[in-house]
Structure 1
Amino acid sequence: MAAANAGDVSDVLETPLLDAERPNLLQKISEQGGYAYVSMAVLAAAGDFRAAEAAREMAWEQLHSGPWHSVLPIWRDAYSMACLHVAKFYYANADFREALRVLDLGLIMGGMVLRKDLDSAVKRASAKESSLRVSEEASGKAECRIIREELDEAEVLEILPKKSLSCEIVGKRSALSLEGFLRDYFMTGTPIIISDCMAHWPARTKWHDMDYLKRVAGYRTVPVEVGRNYLHPEWKQELITFSQFLERIQSNDCTSAGPTYLAQHPLFDQIQELRKDIIIPDYCFAGGGELRSLNAWFGPAGTVTPLHHDPHHNILAQVIGKKYIRLYPASLSEELYPHTESMLSNSSQKMMLKVDLENIDEKEFPKVQELEFMDCILEEGEMLYIPPKWWHYVRSLTKSLSVSFWWS
């Protein structure tokens, strides 16, 4: 790709924040020994595409030089800077899909200093890509939808952990008032399913339409997990387009390593079009709280989140499909054999268990089978409130699109 071609195009991606912050960022990168990166970044800003790619590769190597939590924040900002430089060239040469791919990597892996430039660039590149795309509606293609699946209870019980749906079933309230939620569940720390409170979400109808999802987000790049769960030795992560991910869901495609899962990802910060389809429940402001995290959990039947607990109040909204959820109160933590060290996941502390509910070693964990628990099948259109530090195991029973809201 010739740099000269980019200079001839008047429609360019503007990066006012990068232009203002560049000297300060380059100084900080130099202080961390990134002299080669600085040299390439200066050439990239002057119009050298190969230098921009080289700078991005250098920053990428720094991001993967050790555990994620040990990566210096300046290298995440360096990666964002390089992604913006590279995306400018693709945009100027009308390769808007490739520009979006690079910008998404900047959003996923980069820092926050240049976030406004990345968001603005994504908006402009998305508009350009959409204007060039051939309308699928005009092609006469059959509509592709996620069909509601009926479940046979006997078959469900065969795939769930022992004793499932045999103890206490989580209670259910229809259109629960905020006052009732505060008094009966928030203050007492009791799980509850809330029904009939999501009908006004655009997602409840739009997300059944696979063509809609592909149209608004198909060429965006997202991180996915492949494998039985993140404790499994063959578990891995991939970066694929949202269209590729949706095709795996629709075909129930499971690699030899297991199903593909878009799990605990801030998808709605990355793809604003999807953010417009959901509404933060009023319950998430109970107790004068502040929303901490808004994450997507999209995947086929069979995806599993092992038994763990989170530090925040949590509402899990089941937009499409059904999930089985088992819950143990925090008071049973010692009987559940927690790891002595916590595990960091997406910058939020997550406490894990040694025990695998699907394959319990009764000799090593003799107490687990006798513990009382609550469980449920969370139906489409329902929300489950999970109080802080309640242990929970989650398994998708069908194709499933869920949203979790964490608040302090």
Structure 2
Amino acid sequence: MTSLWSNIVAVLPPVETQFLLEFSEKVESSVVDLLKRSRQHLYSDTSGVDCLLNAQIIMDYSWEKLNTGTWRDVDKEWRRVYSYGCLFKVSALCRQEPSAEVVEQAIRTCDMGLLMGAAIMDNILHVLVQTIQSEIRTFRKTTKEDDQNGHFHAKKLKLACTPVPVVDQTMAIPRIRCPSLEGFKSDYLLPSKPVILEGIIDHWPALRDHRWSLEYIRSVAGCRTVPVEVGSRYTDEEWSQTLLTVNEFIDRYILTKDGVKVSGYLAQHQLFDQVPELKDDICIPDYCCLGEGDDDDITINAWFGPNGTVSPLHHDPQQNFLAQVVGSKYIRLYSPEHTEMLYPHQSLMLHNTSQVEAESPDEEKFPEFVKAPYLECVLRPGDVLFIPARHWHYVRSLELSFSVSFWWS
């Protein structure tokens, strides 16, 4: 990876005087001095060890600030300091001729800055991680070719799946193929009626040219660090969150070995910002133009997880297009007019979530729930489910599943 450092230098300011470090008085002068020293190291022949040590001190100190009190109370200045520390660490790691392991550490450092820090220097961490990832892909391609020349073949593990439930046609969510904008607005959006739209994402590269698979996702995002939910559903006591690379997530929670699997779910809106290759494989549905805002007001979420992952019965405040790309899901929808029959939690944090296990309700404890009418479906690749705002929905993955949701108003 001898060309990596020259590629990194190309995206940095050409001279030290153009590398600006401006902070308010909220950042102690001693920290600013450390930042300036790291900047000087960047444009000198200082040893990589010294550069790395200085950068790590900056990251460790600002990390303490990020984890003091609630996240909303963290001053943006300290998030910027953390991002600069990440930038200096990445530069120190990639300065010589780094191994593949060191390059992966540099990518993880960029991701930590993108997740926990604030944008600096025209979002330079995003530019850096794309530069580094391009280099590591070239390295891996060469390694893969060498392996193939040596007749090396990796053994694939099996993926678990669940029998597809039989949907009662009297309660099936209606389907329609490529309705007009006006027809969708008058027949479904304005009256808040759920519907499955067919044919509207058939052109997505994720379903055609760059068909999403574990191998493809590993190739474009495997070494990226992302937040992961651990547990089959967020209402479970053992549910937690952690940071893992996508490869670690797949190995630990998607692939099964000897029938043993623990539950984990990659559910977040930053994945497509972190990995633009995946974002280029999807498109915002045209029907979102019926909303009040523009494309920047639409929240795009990734939902990637194994068979058996459950989203408990809950509702969201915005309109939702749930697009199924990989695998299938069983989904139930309840109208907001039946909210009282769904027994929402009384706590402020879970007020939008039902206390009931939708598919196995405790009829003694929740007698009205079984009387509540609902619609259901099995969502398959290429299907897009319109979930009107505040409609209650329960989702269970029937196999390895990757969905994309678009929240809009």
Q: TM exceeds 0.5?
A: yes
Compute the displacement of 1:406 (Å).
Answer: 1.1
Give the Cα separation in 2 of the matches to 1:69 and 1:256. Answer: 39
Compute the displacement of 1:384 (Å).
Answer: 0.4
Q: Which runs of 5+ in 2 are unaligned?
A: 42-50
Structure 2 residue aligned with 1:260, among 256, 260, 264? 264
What letter corresponds to residue 42 of structure 1 in structure 2? K
Spell out, residue by residue over 1:244-297, the C-alpha distance to the aligned partner (whole angstroms, 9 max, x if none).
Answer: 223345523699994111013321111011111111111121245434211110
Structure 1 residue aligned with 2:277, among 273, 297, 310? 273
Name 1:334's counterpart in structure 2. 340
Compute the displacement of 1:181 (Å).
Answer: 1.3
Do structure 1's residue 139 and structure 2's residue 135 form an aligned pair?
A: no
What letter corresponds to residue 185 of structure 1 in structure 2? Y
Is this contact kept in 1: 2:228–2:244, CA < 8 A? yes
Name 1:129's counterpart in structure 2. 136
Aligned counterparts, 1:209-220, within 5 A: 209-220=213-224
Do structure 1's residue 60 and structure 2's residue 57 form an aligned pair?
A: no
Give the Cα separation in 1 of the matches to 2:107 and 2:38. Answer: 18
Give the Cα separation in 2 of the matches to 1:21 and 1:233. Answer: 47
Aligned CA distance change for structure 1 residues 45 and 167 (closer, same or farther; 3 Å): farther
Give the Cα separation in 2 of the matches to 1:144 and 1:189. Answer: 48
Structure 2 residue aligned with 1:298, among 294, 304, 312? 304
| Structure with greater strand percent | 1
Aligned CA distance change for structure 1 residues 198 and 166 (closer, same or farther; 3 Å): closer
Compute the displacement of 1:23 (Å).
Answer: 3.9
Name 1:44's counterpart in structure 2. 38
> What TM-score, normalized to structure 2?
0.82
Give the Cα separation in 1 of the matches to 2:161 and 2:319. Answer: 30
Aligned counterparts, 1:343-354, within 5 A: 343=349, 351-354=352-355
Name 1:111's counterpart in structure 2. 118
Instruction: Say which SS state the counterpart of residue 352 (structure 2) adopts.
Output: strand
Aligned CA distance change for structure 1 residues 123 and 324 (closer, same or farther; 3 Å): same
Aligned CA distance change for structure 1 residues 113 and 375 (closer, same or farther; 3 Å): farther
Q: Which runs of 5+ in 1 are unaligned?
A: 1-7, 158-163, 345-349
Spell out, residue by residue over 1:75-119, the C-alpha distance to the aligned partner (whole angstroms, 9 max, x if none).
Answer: 333322221121111122334322111001111222245562111
Aligned CA distance change for structure 1 residues 115 and 143 (closer, same or farther; 3 Å): farther
Aligned CA distance change for structure 1 residues 145 and 255 (closer, same or farther; 3 Å): closer
Give the Cα separation in 2 of the matches to 1:19 and 1:335. Answer: 65
Name 1:5's counterpart in structure 2. none
Give the Cα separation in 2 of the matches to 1:148 and 1:299. Answer: 11
Structure 1 range deviating more: 57-66 or 47-56: 57-66
Structure 1 residue aligned with 2:245, among 241, 259, 273? 241
Instruction: Say which SS state the counterpart of residue 302 (structure 2) adopts.
Output: strand
What letter corresponds to residue 118 of structure 1 in structure 2? L
How high is the sequence identity, in percent, across the aligned residues?
37
Instruction: Say which SS state the counterpart of residue 24 (structure 2) adopts.
Output: helix
Give the Cα separation in 2 of the matches to 1:125 and 1:318. Answer: 31
Name 2:89's counterpart in structure 1. 86
Name 1:189's counterpart in structure 2. 192
Give the Cα separation in 2 of the matches to 1:285 and 1:115. Answer: 29
Compute the displacement of 1:28 (Å).
Answer: 5.0
Structure 1 range deviating more: 323-332 or 255-264: 255-264
Is this contact kept in 2: 1:12–1:91, CA < 8 A? no
Instruction: Say which SS state the counterpart of residue 357 (structure 1) adopts.
Output: coil
